[in-house]
Structure formats: C-alpha cells, structure tokens
Structure 1
Amino acid sequence: MPTAIILLLVAVGSVLFHIVSPWWWTPIASNWSYIDHTLTATFWITGAVFFAVVAFMAYCIFRFRHVEGRKADYEPENRKLESWLTVATAIGVTAMLVPGLFVWHQFITVPAGAAQVEVMGQQWRWSYRLPGADGRLGTSDVQYISAENPLGLNPNDPNGKDDVIIDGGDLHFQIGRPIKVLLRSVDVLHNFYVPEFRAKMDMVPGSVTYFWFTPIRAGEFDVLCAELCGLAHSQMRGKVIVESAQAYNAWLAQQKTFAEMSARSRTAAAERQPDQERARPGR
C-alpha cells in the first residue's frame, strides 16, 4: 500500500507541478499561437497517459501484492488487453501527430508578399542579408566567403549588388509584416531561435531551410542558437528588434549594401598597397 500511494502522489504531483509551474513559456510575439496550442494538447495527452500508466502500476502493486498462501497464475498472453492497448496507443499517437502536421503545413506555406531575410550561422556568430531595391537576393556560395565577403555572395551576380549586409549587428523587423526567413550555415549545424516567436529551424550546411512568421509585438528579443554547435555555443547570441515601419525604414537606410562594402574594401586595399611596396626589402 505505501508504494502504491507514493506512485500515485508522484503522478499527481508531476502533473500539478507542470500546471502551476512559474517556468512557463515567454509571452508570444508572433502569429504562431498554433504552436502553443499544439504543445498544450500534447501535454494533456501525454500527461493523461503518464497518469494512467502510473495509476495502473499502483493498482497492480496493490492488487497483486504478496499474500501468504496465494498462488500466482501464469498468463503469458492476453489478446483482449493487447488489442485495447494497441487501439488506445494508435489513437493517442494520432491525436498528437495530426495537429502538428496541420501546423507544419502552415509553418512552411509562406504568404504572398512576405519580406525576405537570409540568416547565416557560423561558429559562433550571426550574419544577415536583406534584398535591396530590386527585391531579389543574389546567389551565394561558400567559395566566395572571405573577410571582405563574409556571407559568400556571388560578385558576378547583378541581383546581389544591392543586397543589404548586416554582419554581426542587430536584425530589425517591421511589426505586422510577414517575413520569410532563409537559413544557411557555413560550418556545422546551427538553429536560429527567438523564443518569443515560437519559430525555429535547423541550419544545415549545404542546404537552405526556411520558415515564416509575422511579428506582432514591438520590442527587443534575444536570438539563440538551439543546436549544440561547439565550444562557444552558449555565446552565439544576437538581438532582433521589432519596430514600426517608419523606424524600420530609417534603420534600413543606414545599412551598407554588398556593392558599397566591396567598394570600401577595394579602396582600403588600394590605400595599403603603397605601404606594402615601401616595406619590401630593397626599397
């Protein structure tokens, strides 16, 4: 009896702790309340199964406890019980999977007119790229990555000349506008995650993944890497600032394009050239 009671207390306490816990989700700041609802539904289903299993264990411990003179029955199979368990398990798994499939379909179905931003992860920092005046992102490749071209943009692609580059700075979003986030990595697996947005996705080297969301609350939010990516994984952080259209456009006007960054790099290289010539032996 004491063991059965302890098991029941553990089951009830676990569920109650989760319900009244102060360590709940951060306030949502995007349109993905669907994800919160799906997680809540999953919790209730798994919580009910957990309680039922523990309660059944407690019942078995009490019901089939050792009693002097009682002989145990050998029953290797119980087809009726197995059938009920199979049906109940199938219903529970389906109830958890189906809502997630609907949400996943919405998660990757980008609405027309969504803005684009490319996020590049590398050990251990974030870089971003936005389309320029032409509204199109240029092509990129890891072979072009250098100190002067940290995102590896193709210098021969005219669509990339006006792309806006934010290397290591904060990323700004316009409140209320849908955003398609393109994700890539140049070294190992990363994961772009803003907890308040409820949206994240793995960044796989050699591939471009994506998702979309609409920021619905202005403010400053932390960017985290949600995939263990090496020694300084915990320090791979950044900031996302959601603001009005006027503030966003003012910030965007201050950013440098790929063409401007390339021109500045060439100017700096030309200025260093005479100094290098004079430093050569025999000069």
Structure 2
Amino acid sequence: MRRLNVRPAQIDECIQKSMFAFSFKPQNPELQPGELLLLQLVKTEAVRLGKLHSRIDFALVFDHIEPDHDGAISRLHWPKENRVWPWIVYGSATVPTIPFSLEDLGLSVDYDGQTNPRYIEPRDEQLIRPYIQWTLAEVPEPALQLVSASEVVQTFGQKRTLAAIYNHDRIAVLHKVPKRMVTIEQFTRNQFLADNLKSYYGNRCQVCGKDFLPDYGVAFSEAHHIQYLAQGGLDVSGNIAVLCPNHHRIIHSTNAQFNRKTLTYEYPNGLREQLLHPDHFVNAPPFLALG
C-alpha cells in the first residue's frame, strides 16, 4: 500500500482513468499488481475544502507502470498542470473508501509530506484496510472478509456510510461503464450499494415510513431504480429509492413519476406522495445531479 498526494484539479482524471503520474519509479520495494494506492488530498487543499479529517475518499488498484518518454501522456491527461512526469501509473480499478485521514488513525509512522508515492508499513496497512470499500466497488480483494451493509453502518455511522456511497457514485458517474446485460431485460447491479442505502434508512420505506421489523421480526425493504437500468439509468444512489414492497409494486404498476424538485412521487390519478425520508437526495453532491 502507498500514499499518493493529489490536488482536487487532478483527482477526477485519476478516478475516471485509474491513473496517476510519478516523478520516479518506486523501488525497494517495487509496486506490485493489486497494491492499493491511496489518493490523499494535499493538506492545504484539504484545509481549504474542510476535509482535513477526510482527505482520502478513493484508492487505485495498481496494475502496471509505463514511461512517458516525450510527456505526451502527461499533457493529455493533466493539461492544466503545465508539467510532465516521466512515469505513468495505470490501475485496474478505482475503489471508494469510507472518508478518512491517515493522521487520525494513530499509525506508527507519520505519512505526511510531499513525496509520491509514500510506502505504508504493513502494520499500519492493517489499520487502514477496513476503510477500503471493496464490496461497494464490486472489486474482488484477495482473502476478502465480507461484511454486511448493516455492519458498515454500525462501524462507521450513517454520515460516513452515506459519504462512501457518494464516493461510489462519483466513480460510477465518471467511468460511465456500459451496462452489462445478463438477459434481454435484466441488468447487473451493485447489490451492496442497495443494501447500504436500505441499512442507512433502517429498512424503512422512504415514501410511507413502513418498518417491517416491529410486526414481523424481520427488517425488510426493496431498492427501486427511478430511471430503469434498461432505459439508461445509472446504478448510483441518486437513482435509487428505498421502498416497501407495496410502494415498489404500485410505482411500477402505475408508472408513477418521480419529481426531483419536490421529492414527490406523482401518480396518473393525481395523487402525490412526498418522501418522508429524503436524506440521500437532499444531501447529494453536485456531481450527482441527475435531472
């Protein structure tokens, strides 16, 4: 695992292309395929943006490194930097994290400074790994210990869990990966994303507030894609509502329309039902404006 310093102007390209640039090729030890590269905001920018305690939102999964002999790759991907780097790092994926800062974890070494990349000691890596949301990214990790969505919420709280969901969404929006069709009418989706949202709301319907746990002893809800995946909808939180089975079925049956301005479901007969629990729509970051 390594720590990389990155500025806000660079980070979207790093997330979208799973790329980074180095001034020198890491040695002793060399980078290994599958190694995590933590994208950490430089401290001055983190202070300016109010993210001193959440400097890391993403990590790259290292794949390989190539020389940029004439600077063409650097200029293509980071034109505003007005500089070139001799080495370009390519990742196999970008993984969201629970927002965190290395300084807050009580690590054995101070990993601050400007050096890129900064090697992280194995004993400290073990403290960092719980923040890496492999399952939310649907990226396999060797010897992955699967955790449920409820465990994520219990461990990190609602606010940080929702922030990690938004980190997933930022990757999904930037990558714009074509839908993978399983059958003619069924598309793959990130079940862990849906489970995180359902757990965030305590499995209560966002429309009526129905909670099955008191009556039936089972926490149950369903995730509804507002714009169907088959119609080009994104598998991101801003396109998902947590519903009870009744509201899920009636919305499908009537083709009720979701009004994002009023956060209301509008039915053909004129009935309007406003969301009782609209948190993840109200607090959504600007990049997730889906129209």
TM-score by length of 1: 0.23
Whose helix proportion is higher, 1 or 2? 1
Structure number with greater Rg is: 1
Query: Which of 1 and 2 has higher RCO (CA within 8 Å, sep 6+)?
Result: 1
* Alignment TM-score, normalising by the size of structure 2: 0.23
